[in-house]
Structure 1
Amino acid sequence: MGIEWWQILLLTLYAGYQICDELTINSSAGSAVFAGFISGIIMGDMKTGLMIGGAMQLTVLGVGTFGGSSRIDANSGTVLATAFSVGLGMNQSQAISAIAVPVAALLIQTDILARFANTFFAHRIDRFIETENYKAIERNYLYGAIPWALSRALPVFLALTFGGGLVNTVVSYMNSQLSWLATGLETAGAVLPAVGFAILLRYLPVKKHFPYLIIGFIVTALFATIYGDVSAVGTAVTGLSKGFAHNFAGLPMLGIALIGFGFAAIEYKHSMEKHEVVAEHGSAEQQETVIDAKGEIEDDEL
């Protein structure tokens, strides 16, 4: 199939925009799932884009930035993995482990470069503050978006323009001569989302809220079993009766999410009430965030 020039152009423009959105508007257009959605539409296979974007979103689920630190760029990795998976017929799991994750880690360096480049505009703004030149302050603030956008758009453009042939050659050789490596990369790509969950659980107050974790697991398992059995019965009945045309839906993930939201709202309300009591009657030391000996943040809600 290949990757057309207009697809390279649109993916490059989105790659430059998504980091600016993440730093300013924060409309979720700078998330891995959204990156997979947009890339899938551009490449003509939205399902593949969402599958790769969802896997990358889960992979970085527990990864965050603190202060001025840089993190792996899952969005750009998703864009390239989706483009090569759809354009070159690459296996989704292979694309995640062989392209998305390495690219996401490599672009930490361009992220740091963009931060350094922005200091130039920051110093110019400092000088204009002294002279009260507000128009120049606004201009240089907007100029700061240029290095940020280029830090993502340029690597994506170069990879899509010049990397397609190399990736195609590597994938063909790997699938034919190194099948063991291809299988290993597929397995690694499938396991990566679990790593994201593990990192997230490391930072969440699991010990404090383990009853909710148990309830969530049981509810999800029960719903999956019930809906799976009902769907199987519907399929069997359809085979016996041609007039039976009812379509059984799958597991309603929105329902699971709403159940989780309900528990989270209850816990948040209790936490707020407790915090108000401490604020009224407790000391300043009692109101500070408590971190146990193992590093778990207990008061994570506030």
Structure 2
Amino acid sequence: MESTLGPAILLGIWAGICVMDMVGPQFMLWRPLISGAGAGLLLGDLQTGLIIGGGVELTWLVLVNIGGAAPPDVTMGGIVAVAVGVLTGTQDVGVALAAALPAALVAQQAWSLVFMLNTFWIHRQDAAAERGDLKAAERIHLGAFGMWFIAYFLIAFASVYWGIPALQSLMDNLPPWLLSGLAVAGGLLPALGISLLLSQFLTKINWPYFLIGFILAAYLNMPTIGTALIGAGIAFLLYFAVDLAKGAGAAAAPAKAHEGVLTKGDRFRMFLRAWTAISDGNAERHLAGTFLYVMAIPFRKIFKTKEEMAAAMKRHLLFYNVQPTLTTMVMGSVAAMEERMEDKEPIIAYKAGVMGPLAGVGDSLIWLTLMPLTFAIGAGLATAGNPMGPIVALVLFNIVNIPLKYYGMELGYTQGIRLMEQLRGGLMDKISKGATLIGLMVMGTALVRTVSLTTPISIRLGEDSMPIQPAIDAIMPKLLTLLLALVVLWALRKKVNPVVVLLLLLVFGVAGKAIGIL
């Protein structure tokens, strides 16, 4: 094997760039479809990068760190899996992903460690707030990016430089039955990603939507985009059609836009600053540092004394956590409130009141619906070797993501708390329910399209034998796939660690192939 030093350095830098996107603008460079394709391009084998990166994306389509879930790190998994494929000469997603799993687990722990260590930075910002030193707080916020870059660079570098040669030696001596078993296991792993998200959103009331999505794909071979469009139609009829038919709100006078000291250019700069979403995100106060960094622009126009500045900085270094795409709504409205309200206590109460609802809407809309839908389409193209796959995914995601952030800031500022009152008055709940409905249907279809589980078992009937898979399909196509997902979901809801479930799926795939039941 050639020296892995060059590839290790390149992929270390790429991993650092990807994690800075994850904690920054969230254009989705960090998803395995993109991180994997980028790794393949850097290593001179884009085809392997597309096939394995797309395969890992489909396997971990809905793995995202929300609701307390701590899945393996998908960014590192995609990069190292592609490195394994290119440098060892395999395009088998199951083998590459199994080999990359240790790096993904280490990166998961590194994420948690940096998130904890970032508490140091928030206390440095506290000290700056005591002095009313806004510039110092801004420098601290941006400097925190370095910890993420260093952590991911080191993990990717070590995994490729030391891990790949050792892995090549190991793979050269693995028995064929184990490699074929890992390939089978690779077809089971997407059940974990889907079940992880179902564990956060599936309830006794909304489970039929998941089943509808499953049935559409299993019986009618419905593509993911088709299911999403049907789901959007159902959501519209259930949550919006009646109000529109009644002309709800038609008689209400349009709210007067807030005209304050911030220019459109100021608000655009606030929008750009919001792209540093989680740079100093920490276990103690989550995204408070980002909120202060964005508010620095209006603060410089509103407050003229050190005492006023110090009080404002302290006010916005309290706990804050809203899904990064929708957080600009809060930032814009708070900027307007800071301009015109003498009593600042209601601002603190307002932020606390909108955090929970907006976080729920954001998780449903972005992580459950938009991201899986757009990246399922892109990954489907990539696994066929189509280089347009990553581009399609990025474009489809960001034509929604970026305008939502931009107009969230604009509407938040110009409409102020009126916008949030409208959302909290029922619209937010309808959007959340509608997005969850679409997302659950998409997950049902994704289960059919990404999980591969069949059995070769046959029953002896005299001198003949009858395979049982057609009989199972006659009861319900993809029934085994559905049962697997339900078992995984049951385990997750019994608080079994997702990593343990992943390892059990690998063991089940290898053992099942070895004894002839898979």
CA distance in 2, matches of 1:94, 1:219: 28
Is residue 2:232 matched to residue 1:265? Answer: yes
Number of residue pairs matched? 256
1:121-177 Cα offsets, whole Å, 9 max, x none, are 111011111211111111110111112122211111112122232111111111xxx
Among candidates 436, 440, 444, match of residue 300 of structure 1: 436
Q: Is the 8 A contact 2:77 2:97 kept in 1?
A: no
Percent identity, aligned pairs only, is 25
CA distance in 2, matches of 1:81, 1:288: 39
Q: Is the 8 A contact 2:125 2:137 kept in 1?
A: yes
Q: Is the 8 A contact 2:55 2:93 kept in 1?
A: no
1:219-244 Cα offsets, whole Å, 9 max, x none, are 427xxxxxxxxxxxxxxxxxxxxxxx
Aligned CA distance change for structure 1 residues 67 and 212 (closer, same or farther; 3 Å): closer
* TM-aligned CA deviation for residue 200 of structure 1: 4.6
Q: Which residue of 2 aligns with 1:72?
A: 72
CA distance in 1, matches of 2:217, 2:198: 14
* TM-aligned CA deviation for residue 82 of structure 1: 0.8
Aligned CA distance change for structure 1 residues 113 and 272 (closer, same or farther; 3 Å): same
CA distance in 1, matches of 2:146, 2:36: 23
CA distance in 1, matches of 2:218, 2:124: 54
CA distance in 1, matches of 2:185, 2:155: 24
1:163-214 Cα offsets, whole Å, 9 max, x none, are 232111111111xxx3322222222123222443444555454414644442
Q: Is the 8 A contact 2:20 2:145 kept in 1?
A: yes
* TM-aligned CA deviation for residue 94 of structure 1: 4.8
CA distance in 2, matches of 1:105, 1:154: 14
Query: What amino acid is aligned across from residue 86 of structure 1 in structure 2?
Result: V
CA distance in 2, matches of 1:84, 1:189: 15
CA distance in 2, matches of 1:275, 1:10: 55
CA distance in 2, matches of 1:83, 1:209: 35
For 1:1-302, list aligned pairs within 5 A. Answer: 2=2, 5-66=5-66, 70-174=70-174, 178-200=175-197, 203-204=201-202, 205-208=206-209, 210-220=211-221, 256-273=223-240, 300=436
Q: Is the 8 A contact 1:117 1:147 kept in 2?
A: no
Q: Is the 8 A contact 1:32 1:74 kept in 2?
A: yes
Q: Is the 8 A contact 2:77 2:100 kept in 1?
A: yes
Query: What amino acid is aligned across from residue 87 of structure 2 in structure 1?
Result: G
Query: Quick check: 149-158 or 267-276, which moved more?
Result: 267-276
Report the secondary structure of 1:65's partner residue: coil
**Unpaired runs of at least 5, structure 2:** 249-423, 439-518
**Unpaired runs of at least 5, structure 1:** 222-255, 291-296
Q: Is the 8 A contact 1:82 1:95 kept in 2?
A: no
Query: What amino acid is aligned across from residue 268 of structure 1 in structure 2?
Result: A
Query: What amino acid is aligned across from residue 33 of structure 2 in structure 1?
Result: V
Report the secondary structure of 1:163's partner residue: helix
Query: What amino acid is aligned across from residue 260 of structure 1 in structure 2?
Result: T
* TM-aligned CA deviation for residue 45 of structure 1: 1.8
Report the secondary structure of 2:216's partner residue: helix
Query: What amino acid is aligned across from residue 207 of structure 1 in structure 2?
Result: P
1:225-280 Cα offsets, whole Å, 9 max, x none, are xxxxxxxxxxxxxxxxxxxxxxxxxxxxxxx3442342133133224417959xx8
CA distance in 1, matches of 2:227, 2:208: 17
Q: Is the 8 A contact 1:63 1:200 kept in 2?
A: yes
Superposed CA RMSD in Å reads: 3.3
CA distance in 2, matches of 1:194, 1:27: 26
Aligned CA distance change for structure 1 residues 260 and 2 (closer, same or farther; 3 Å): farther
Q: Is the 8 A contact 2:52 2:82 kept in 1?
A: yes
